Chain A
Amino acid sequence: MTATMNGTPRKDVPAEPLLAVDDLVVEYPAKGWRRPPFRVLKGVSITIGAGETLGLVGESGSGKTTLGRAVLGLAPVASGTVHYAGKVISGLGAKERRALSSDIQVVFQDPYTSLNPAMTVNDILSEPLRVAGTPRAEAEKRVRDLLDQVRLPADAGERLPREFSGGQRQRIAIARALSRDPRVIVCDEPVSALDLSTQARVLDLFVEIQERTGVAYLFVTHDLSVVRHISHRVAVMRGGEIVETGDAATVTTTPQHPYTKRLLLAAPVPDPARQAERRAERQRLAAAMAADARTNTPAIASTSGDRA
């Protein structure tokens, strides 16, 4: 792999972002006739610089996954644009979109359904290469290199996905994303299905790969602690809109927006004493907000969407 970007990525946003989403609106057609379409993203703007991780955090129904899919060209864009390296990539035809596959890649949440169960790991990893016209011998060599990069033994290639654990499968998915040296990887909750200790090792791998290759991540997750750990910058989504963007440390420790505050206080910390304080503060804030809501009505609604 030709590692060009080394060193820690900069915290200030580069003048020309690698990926820029501008006022993006995504609508899905509603079921039934002549019903208005369902608007999932209501004018979202984000930027990601080369080698940077943008953490996208939100609860279910916030539209965070849809934003990732829109960047990948998998969601219907109603208006707004996605720029990549200065070119508009939203609304491209199928053929032009396919040409982007070497630049923008994906790692999905569910390591069980994101790998074709009937294909060997070799086939899974070489598929993107063969599509790009890489000769067989060269592709085979590249696959071995990829397995090594994600710390799987070379003989893993002969096996089927079902022979691997969740963490291992996620490594295979990461290897597939890396196969054509992309510059952006959309990571859709890539560690949410994993056990705690496995999650830690997969997060390490993400950081290591980024530092070595300079790839940028759009890291979608519902877990504030994961986002804090992996991101340079964080965007908080709610109801199809971005409510707060900023430096990772700032947003995840001293948030400005009331919703981010609520989100932060709701996440329990693994320390009984600190958690007791956090709970007390959350309940105080909730009471204050409830009182607020009673006096001036158009405050923030109390219950948000559930994940189920």
Chain B
Amino acid sequence: MTLPQSEETAVTPAVAAHGRAGLLRRLLRNPVAVTCLVLLALISLASLCAPLLTSQDPAHTSLTESLAPMSGKHPLGGDGVGRDVLARLLYGGRTSLLGALLAVAVAVVIGVPAGLVAGYYRKWFDAVSSWVSNLLMAVPAIIVLLVVMSAVGQNTYLAMAVFGVLMSPGVFRLIRASVISVREELYVDAARVSGLSDARIIRRHILPVVQAPTIIQAAQMLGLGIVIQSGLEFLGLGSATQASWGSMLNDAFANIYNKPELMVWPGVALAVTVAAFGLLGNALRDALDGTATRGRKPRGTTPRKPVAVKHSAPPEATDALLALEGLTVSYPTAEGEKTVVEGVSLTVRRGEVLGLVGESGSGKSQTAFAVLGLLPPEASVSTRQLVFDGTELGNLGRAEMNRYRGRRIAYVPQEPMSNLDPSFRIGAQLVEPVRRHLKLSGAEAKAKTLALLERVGIADPERVFNSYPHQISGGMAQRVLIAGAVSCEPDLLIADEPTTALDVTVQAEVLDLIRSLQRERNMGVILVTHDFGVVADICDRVTVMQTGTVVESAPVRELFAGPRHPYTRMLLASTLEDAEPRSPLSRIVPASIAGVTDPAVITNSVHQEGPA
């Protein structure tokens, strides 16, 4: 048996660099990150080389040089007790950086292993460690440090080690949450089935995932450590002999009326260092997000433009409920404008069900959203005409469009559960548009909504009306969404894969419901689907789309009886209904026709993921 060499088995050249190396490179491309790294390097270097940069002793007091002005001997002047400000600034950097490093080291050493064990094994250790972590987080850190310092003595490094313990819950929670989410990934199950031991799974699959967030957290904790430490020293808690930025501020505060500029040097050093750590953490996160989203981006391949074939003449524009002509949708991407829909035209008559069929990446959902005016703001949309019942919709403003949306053009989404507002009762969500469009009173709107819920086959409308979305099943939620769509008696219903997320028995019932509502109200319907069974069940006419263009439009029986376009033929041949069991299917599927360059990366939920 031979399989055709299809696009399925041909791999397009690699564009993305390997994981971590790529992350570093992206980080270094970010000017903010580079600036922060340079600043931090300079600050570390300066405090490290303090003895080389100044000959002054930071602890040497001299009453004659109290509040001395800037001079050759004291480039930044003297402080309240005549110590050299520059020397204190440089040596103070040591205290701050070392103290912060110590705190972060303690936090990581406690937080990472505890988080790994709690997240991976759960059970009693998770319960106990989570309890302890919540406890530690509920106590103001500075109070604990006050107690510790008054009990054990004024040692800055000891205080920072204790602060590390107090910060460890942050690390613990982060690691635990990432481990729990990774543990539920199927690739960890697959590794287990492959015979990997727990230790090996943690090392190979879990540690790499928690590495990056830990580094980000560490950068921010370094900043936090410096802040807390200087706060303590500012309060006068900390070793009196050791120079530090906090104690410099304390001294400046004492002389605030005599020489307020003493505040500037330690203040700036503190703010710049902490800001650099914070910004570096942000830049790391951005770089990481960049690598994560990268995989979703389609490669800059130009789709071949299939040539459309037509069966019967297009319906007269005069009896059209909706006439769409020359729709083009594109998104800006890193590789330039990416067109996802190009020159699509379609017509829907009153009382007609039009099936919009295609595989993922065909642009069928984008077309539907364009009609509704619901594409994300970054999409650029153009049409030759978009006429609904005699009105051009293409150039309506948002407020004007809102008079059509919901009132005359309605929408049924694909995923029932994610399309209901989780914070509001079902009733409130359904009543709001009814009141707005039909200008009904609250009681009238409620009565109408309850009747609707009953109409869509919900046995106990009153209970569902008062329920929150998470309290009802998916099939019930889809009925609710259909009720919401038809509540203002629209003329056109746009349903985007309305049954794809449902079980097959529920799907049949929902299709029955859409059909009966459509007949009852003589609505026009655009039904977006990838399933030819659904098309055969409910549609009057079919438009087949491939990579953003229409390849074929025909009445439903005509299309199934004699598909003209090779792509349509290929799709129909891929259905399993009439195939001989276990016989090769691809022989009759000349994949070269498919022309779908990378079907899986261009998902049909472009809207949710931003520009595809």
- Residue of B503, B536, B571, B581 touching A248 (CB-CB under 8 A): B581
Q: Which of B196-204, B259-267, B330-338, B433-441 contacts A (4 or more CB under 8 A)?
A: B196-204
Q: Which of A18-26, A42-50, A191-199 contacts B (4 or more CB under 8 A)?
A: A191-199
Complex CA distance for A274 and B537, rounded to whole angstroms = 9
Check A305/B503 contact, CB under 8 A, given A118-B19, A201-B586.
yes
Give 28 pairs: A residue, B residue, CB < 8 Å, sorted on A.
A59-B504, A72-B193, A114-B186, A116-B187, A116-B191, A131-B194, A132-B195, A153-B11, A162-B295, A163-B16, A164-B11, A168-B9, A195-B359, A195-B600, A196-B575, A197-B359, A197-B594, A200-B576, A203-B585, A204-B584, A231-B581, A268-B511, A268-B533, A272-B557, A279-B508, A306-B506, A307-B503, A308-B417
Cβ-closest chain B residue relative to A249: B581
Q: Is B144 an interface residue (CB 8 A)?
A: no
Nearest-CB distance from B295 to chain A (Å)? Answer: 3
Which residues of chain B in 574-612 are interfacial with respect to chain A, using CB atoms and an 8 Å cutoff?
A: 574-577, 579, 581-582, 584-586, 589, 591, 594, 596, 598-601
Q: Is B562 an interface residue (CB 8 A)?
A: no
Given A114-B189, A153-B10, A229-B585, 14 more A-B residue pairs with CB atoms under 8 Å apart are A98-B195, A98-B196, A101-B194, A132-B195, A195-B596, A195-B599, A198-B600, A229-B581, A268-B508, A268-B511, A268-B534, A269-B577, A271-B577, A308-B502
Complex interface: chain B residues within 8 A of A270 (CB): 532-533, 535-536, 560, 572, 575, 577
Q: Is A128 an interface residue (CB 8 A)?
A: yes
- B359:A127 contact, CB within 8 angstroms: no
Nearest-CB distance from B590 to chain A (Å)? Answer: 10
Nearest-CB distance from B188 to chain A (Å)? Answer: 8
Q: Is B360 an interface residue (CB 8 A)?
A: yes
Nearest-CB distance from B259 to chain A (Å)? Answer: 55
Complex interface: chain A residues within 8 A of B504 (CB): 59, 222, 224, 263, 266-267
Q: Is B147 an interface residue (CB 8 A)?
A: no
- A189-231 vs B, CB cutoff 8 Å, 1 = contact: the mask equals 0000011111111011101100000000000001011101111
Q: Is A113 an interface residue (CB 8 A)?
A: yes
Complex CA distance for A269 and B575, rounded to whole angstroms = 9
Complex interface: chain A residues within 8 A of B503 (CB): 59-60, 222, 304-307
Q: Which of B82-90, B306-314, B473-481 contacts A (4 or more CB under 8 A)?
A: B473-481
Residues on A lying within 8 angstroms of B by beta carbon are 59-60, 69, 72-74, 94, 98-102, 104-106, 108-111, 113-120, 127-128, 131-132, 151-153, 155-156, 158-169, 171, 173, 176, 194-201, 203-205, 207-208, 222, 224-226, 228-231, 248-249, 262-263, 265-275, 279, 282-283, 303-308
Q: Is B531 an interface residue (CB 8 A)?
A: yes
Cβ-closest chain B residue relative to A231: B581
Which residues of chain B in 401-416 are interfacial with respect to chain A, using CB atoms and an 8 Å cutoff?
A: 415-416
Nearest-CB distance from B54 to chain A (Å)? Answer: 47
Q: Is B40 an interface residue (CB 8 A)?
A: no
- B3:A127 contact, CB within 8 angstroms: no
- B9:A195 contact, CB within 8 angstroms: no
Complex interface: chain B residues within 8 A of A248 (CB): 581
Nearest-CB distance from B579 to chain A (Å)? Answer: 6
- B157-194 vs A, CB cutoff 8 Å, 1 = contact: the mask equals 00000000000000000000000000001110111111
Q: Is B399 an interface residue (CB 8 A)?
A: no
- B1:A127 contact, CB within 8 angstroms: no
- Residue of B12, B186, B571 touching A108 (CB-CB under 8 A): B186
Nearest-CB distance from A72 to chain B (Å)? Answer: 5
Cβ-closest chain A residue relative to B360: A195
Complex interface: chain B residues within 8 A of A100 (CB): 195
Complex interface: chain B residues within 8 A of A94 (CB): 197-198
- B193:A117 contact, CB within 8 angstroms: no
- A152:B11 contact, CB within 8 angstroms: yes
Residues on B lying within 8 angstroms of A by beta carbon are 1, 3, 5-6, 8-12, 14-16, 18-19, 185-187, 189-198, 200, 204-205, 208-209, 294-296, 359-360, 415-417, 473-478, 501-509, 511-512, 530-537, 556-557, 560, 570-577, 579, 581-582, 584-586, 589, 591, 594, 596, 598-601
Complex CA distance for A156 and B11, rounded to whole angstroms = 7
Complex CA distance for A160 and B581, rounded to whole angstroms = 34
- B3:A307 contact, CB within 8 angstroms: no
Complex interface: chain A residues within 8 A of B9 (CB): 151-153, 168, 171
Complex interface: chain A residues within 8 A of B530 (CB): 195-196
- The listed residue with most B CB atoms (<10 A of its CB), out of A73, A165, A199, is A165
Nearest-CB distance from B525 to chain A (Å)? Answer: 16
Complex interface: chain B residues within 8 A of A127 (CB): 191, 194, 196, 204
- A229:B579 contact, CB within 8 angstroms: yes
Nearest-CB distance from A14 to chain B (Å)? Answer: 19
- A74:B195 contact, CB within 8 angstroms: no
- B508:A116 contact, CB within 8 angstroms: no
- B208:A118 contact, CB within 8 angstroms: yes
- A168:B190 contact, CB within 8 angstroms: no
Complex interface: chain B residues within 8 A of A271 (CB): 536, 560, 577
Complex interface: chain A residues within 8 A of B19 (CB): 118, 160
- Residue of A109, A155, A165, A173 touching B598 (CB-CB under 8 A): A165
Complex interface: chain B residues within 8 A of A160 (CB): 16, 18-19, 295
- A197:B570 contact, CB within 8 angstroms: yes
Nearest-CB distance from A99 to chain B (Å)? Answer: 7
Complex interface: chain A residues within 8 A of B591 (CB): 197, 201
Complex CA distance for A267 and B534, rounded to whole angstroms = 9
Complex CA distance for A114 and B200, rounded to whole angstroms = 17
Complex CA distance for A160 and B415, rounded to whole angstroms = 30
Complex interface: chain B residues within 8 A of A105 (CB): 193-194
- A307:B502 contact, CB within 8 angstroms: yes
- A273:B577 contact, CB within 8 angstroms: no
- Residue of B14, B18, B474, B574 touching A307 (CB-CB under 8 A): B474
Cβ-closest chain A residue relative to B532: A270
Nearest-CB distance from A236 to chain B (Å)? Answer: 12
Complex interface: chain A residues within 8 A of B477 (CB): 308
- A226:B1 contact, CB within 8 angstroms: no
Cβ-closest chain B residue relative to A168: B8
Complex CA distance for A201 and B18, rounded to whole angstroms = 29
Check A118/B506 contact, CB under 8 A, given A165-B600, A168-B11, A249-B581.
no
Complex CA distance for A271 and B556, rounded to whole angstroms = 9
- A308:B474 contact, CB within 8 angstroms: yes
- A197:B571 contact, CB within 8 angstroms: yes
- A59:B582 contact, CB within 8 angstroms: no
Complex interface: chain A residues within 8 A of B415 (CB): 308
Complex CA distance for A116 and B200, rounded to whole angstroms = 14
Nearest-CB distance from A290 to chain B (Å)? Answer: 12
- Residue of B12, B193, B575 touching A163 (CB-CB under 8 A): B12
- B505:A266 contact, CB within 8 angstroms: yes
- A176:B502 contact, CB within 8 angstroms: no
Complex CA distance for A127 and B295, rounded to whole angstroms = 23
Complex interface: chain B residues within 8 A of A167 (CB): 8, 599-600
Check A59/B505 contact, CB under 8 A, given A159-B14, A201-B589.
yes
Complex interface: chain B residues within 8 A of A195 (CB): 359-360, 530, 596, 599-600
- B505:A115 contact, CB within 8 angstroms: no
Complex interface: chain B residues within 8 A of A266 (CB): 504-505, 507-508
Check A226/B576 contact, CB under 8 A, given A197-B594, A271-B536.
yes
Check A228/B8 contact, CB under 8 A, given A106-B190, A132-B195.
no
Complex interface: chain A residues within 8 A of B571 (CB): 196-197
Cβ-closest chain B residue relative to A224: B504
- B585:A165 contact, CB within 8 angstroms: no
